[in-house]
Structure 1
């Protein structure tokens, strides 16, 4: 792995001070508690709908309503986040989801559960998520000068919440009811909104709120500008293009087929163990991302991502449960480390005035092919066998990582805080596709002005 030059060592020594502050702690808490609630939701939906006579297809439809709304509208959320106060948009989105989940809790408590109503609630949640998510990208660099450390800390918290969420939901279903899980989920959004309400963001960098004006034409112009900025960065769109293949051939089929194979061959407890190992691995990957400071972040992340192949390959090969759990842990660590490297690269390499829009294109592109991969998993398993599809997914994971490393713009991208000075042609990244330093002024200089 490409080590950080000696000149960057002092940054690691002061990472704690650079990351942790009152405002970042509030944002950290908001992300952790919201993630805890989100990981409780699948358990609540499955248990609640099954108890009221619906099947697995209904559970999938309810989840798909949220995913479709989010994936279809997140790009527009990016434009809104670049035009208005991201903190207010996120608070508003949390309050909307507080209302929808409270309504869902009331429906399940009353026993009056109609599928279309649950799907409508899920759709509104997806719209709120599409408004919320783009602002996350620009909030992190405004709260911490150590962007990688901040992303690593948030990843650890979200991973720990992902481990705890299903267990907490299971206890609530057992001792209360699915309605109790929805009520707890609504509470997590209330706590997230409260943390964001108490948060005081430094002002955005000069010019980062520049927009094209008002009205539908200006909105379309901002949308087009975001797309042009996205296409101008070769390392960015190259990764998303490769990631589409990854979603279709690796991640999409791995999630459903691993669940089916492990449960059928070893039982639900074994699947729970494997899933917990995957979550524990993501925590480890986040902790490693807090410590390691590679100079070429995407190169290091792609090398770490090789470890994900161990997950589908170990299940496809029919290995013992402890080996599958170990493979899942390695996969989680690799995926988590890559996630921090990628998020940090986007947040530090992209100018703040288009960061939310580009992040929205990033999220939309990353998620677009996942349903395709999931939909093709069943027919592929019927034709080839689930074990063979998982072995192919493991091999494809290697190929995807190799493809990332073969792209010069990806493997050669240098982290912002190790550059001595921008050179001609790289100051904005629009000429060569390799953006130059984009650290926000708010992260580098304190200010008495606060966004409220």
Structure 2
């Protein structure tokens, strides 16, 4: 009788979560916050480039200003993960948005005044990076608390962010043309205000039992929490295995592809062609997100790795010197594959890792994923000078196949089976691998 009652209780809980699905008032608020913030973030490179160039600075200054943000984010996001597991993620995200509202409003005032000093812009970028490092880890823990269909939620957010990525540069270009770079910074500040308001109105359900244990410990345990997050990260072969492969991907594929595609396409076909190809890439990411809303593979990382093969079409088509329509088609295929992989990966992390350490593990995931990107970008120029940009892009295309094969050759990656949010929350932090658990750890 007790077993029957327990089973009935689990069925009622499961039906309640299923009814909650994806869309609710609170998920809609979070969805809006992410989409609006992404729209603003994609406007920022246009504003920085146009504004600094107008004030006599060169491309190196633009890169330095962007690097200030990236360095602060990559260097501090792991610490942000500890904070997110110790305190209210919602309050941390609101605080981060308010900080960036202030910094971007200050940047707008500097550009409107005409007194633009590079170190000030870099300092603002650094503070933005710190705020982003505090904000980002909480995203991973928020999605499964708002929607029982974690994959559907990630797919919806990916579609919205991809659409924002398509619209952002165009909106920024219009604002620069009809107003000034200061107007873009003001609009960017407004996106953080909207995001903060949506998060303020958000009502998060209580965390799972034990998920706030870190918050009850003293401040002296900060380093211990950091170490615990690292143990949780390295204790899952599928997790650190993907990040290890991803470091190679960033150095040999993504890092060189971004700058070399830009120089090759603009040099041979002009900036309009480059804009068209970027739009095709963005459209592909929307399609990939839509597919991820419908397709529910049992082994998510295996399906994602197979889809990621499509990214090879982007550098390979440019390196082969194909015409603009063919390169745009390659970019669309690449965007779809990358987007589908992104949803499969995010959902796997959010459902396989227990909630009490999820934010810290996600922070290590983000830091590891981004660590090698600057290396790949820095090596792109010397490699192009030695081999030719077209040959480097062709190598990147071939390496993309190798990376996907490497992912599929890792048993813990290809064999990882999907679980729902309830199953993930009840799992202990680290468990010895076993065949019946589909190599969860």
Same fold (TM over 0.5): yes
1:421/1:15 CA distance change after superposition, 3 Å:
closer
Counterpart residue number, 2:379: 376
Tell me the distance in 2 between the aligned counterparts of 1:186 and 1:435.
50
1:278 maps to which residue? Answer: 281
The SS at the match of 1:113 is coil
CA distance in 1 between counterparts of 2:361 and 2:268 reads 43
1:200 matched to which residue of 2?
203
1:316 aligned partner: 319
* Match among 339, 351, 354 for residue 354 of structure 2: 351
Aligned: 1:46 with 2:49: yes
SS of residue matched to 1:413: coil
Shift of 1:264: 0.2
Distance in structure 2 (CA, Å) of the matches to 1:107 and 1:434: 60
In the superposition, relative to structure 1, how do residues 377 and 287 fare at CA in structure 2: closer, same or farther (>3 Å)? same
* TM-score, normalising length: structure 1: 0.91
**What residue ranges of structure 1 are gaps of 5+ in the alignment?**
1-10, 438-452
Separation (CA, whole Å) in 2 of partners of 1:280 and 1:16: 31
Question: How many Å apart are 1:433 and its aligned residue?
Answer: 8.7
The structure whose residues are more often helix, as a share, is 2
* Superposed displacement of residue 397, structure 1: 0.3
Contact 1:308 1:335 in 2 (8 A): yes
Q: Does the C-alpha gap of structure 1 residues 419 and 385 become closer, same or farther in structure 2, counting only changes over 3 Å?
A: same
What residue is the counterpart of 2:432 in the other structure? Answer: 431
Residue 85 of structure 1: aligned partner:
88
1:138 corresponds, among 132, 137, 141, to 141
Pick aligned residue for 2:129 from 126, 129, 133: 126
8 Å CA contact 1:309–1:398 kept in 2: the answer is yes
Is 1:112 paired with 2:115?
Answer: yes
The answer for the alignment partner of 1:408 in structure 2 is: 411
Does residue 97 (structure 1) correspond to residue 117 (structure 2)? The answer is no
Aligned residue for 1:67?
Answer: 70
1:435 to partner: Cα distance: 11
SS, match of residue 393 in structure 1:
helix
- Please tell me whether the aligned partners of residues 78 and 134 of structure 1 are also in contact (alpha carbons under 8 angstroms): yes
**Residue 213, structure 1, aligned to residue 217, structure 2:** yes
Contact persistence 1:296–1:411 (CA under 8 A): yes
C-alpha distance in 2 between matches for 1:23 and 1:344 = 19
> Distance in 1 between the 2:242 and 2:400 partners?
14
Contact between 1:77 and 1:131, CA under 8 Å: does it hold in 2?
yes
Distance 1:18 1:261, change over 3 A: same
Structure 1 residues 31, 322: CA separation in 2 closer, same or farther (over 3 Å shift)? same
Q: 1:367 to 1:267 in 2, by over 3 A?
A: same
Q: Per-residue deviation at 1:313?
A: 0.1
Counterpart pick for 2:366 among 353, 363, 367: 363
| Aligned-partner Cα distance in 1 for 2:44–2:218 | 37
Q: Does 1:339 align with 2:342?
A: yes
- Deviation per residue, 1:340-392 (Å, 9 max, x gap): 00000000000000000000000000000000000000000000000000000
- Are 2:242 and 1:239 equivalent residues in the alignment? yes
Measured in 1, the distance between the counterparts of 2:190 and 2:206 equals 29
Question: Could you state the TM-score of these two structures normalised by the residue count of structure 2?
Answer: 0.93
- In the TM superposition, residue 318 of structure 1 has moved relative to its aligned partner by 0.2
TM-superposition CA deviations, 1:78-128 (whole Å, max 9, x none): 000000000000000000000000000000000000000000000000000
CA drift at 1:436: 6.2
**What RMSD over aligned residues (CA atoms) do the two structures have, in Å?**
2.1
> Aligned partners of 2:322, 2:390: CA distance in 1, in Å?
11
**Equivalents in 2 of 1:107, 1:230: separation in Å?**
42
Q: Pick from 259, 263, 268 the counterpart of residue 260 of structure 1.
A: 263
1:30 paired to 2:7: no
Q: 1:172 corresponds to which residue?
A: 175
CA distance in 2, matches of 1:254, 1:53: 28
CA distance in 1, matches of 2:61, 2:217: 43
- Give the distance between the partners of 1:287 and 1:15, measured in 2 at CA: 20
Structure 2 CA distance for aligned equivalents of residues 292 and 39 of structure 1: 28
CA distance 1:434–1:274, shift in 2 (3 Å) = farther
Distance, in Å, in 2 between the alignment partners of 1:121 and 1:285 is 34
> Could you say if the C-alpha distance between residues 422 and 36 of structure 1 is closer, same or farther in structure 2, counting changes exceeding 3 Å?
closer
**Whole-Å Cα distance in 2 between the matches of residues 407 and 336 of structure 1?**
21
Please say if residues 232 and 433 of structure 1, whose CA atoms lie closer than 8 Å, have aligned partners that are also in contact.
no
Correspondent of 1:58 among 49, 53, 61: 61
Q: Name the count of aligned residue pairs.
A: 422
Equivalent-residue separation in structure 1 for 2:409 and 2:300 (angstroms): 15
- In structure 2, which of residues 163, 166, 179 is the aligned counterpart of residue 163 of structure 1? 166
3-state secondary structure, aligned to 1:354 = helix
- Distance (whole Å) between structure 1 residues aligned to residue 298 and residue 372 of structure 2: 30
The correspondence for 1:19, drawn from 14, 18, 22, is 22
Is residue 154 from structure 1 mapped to residue 157 from structure 2 by the alignment?
yes
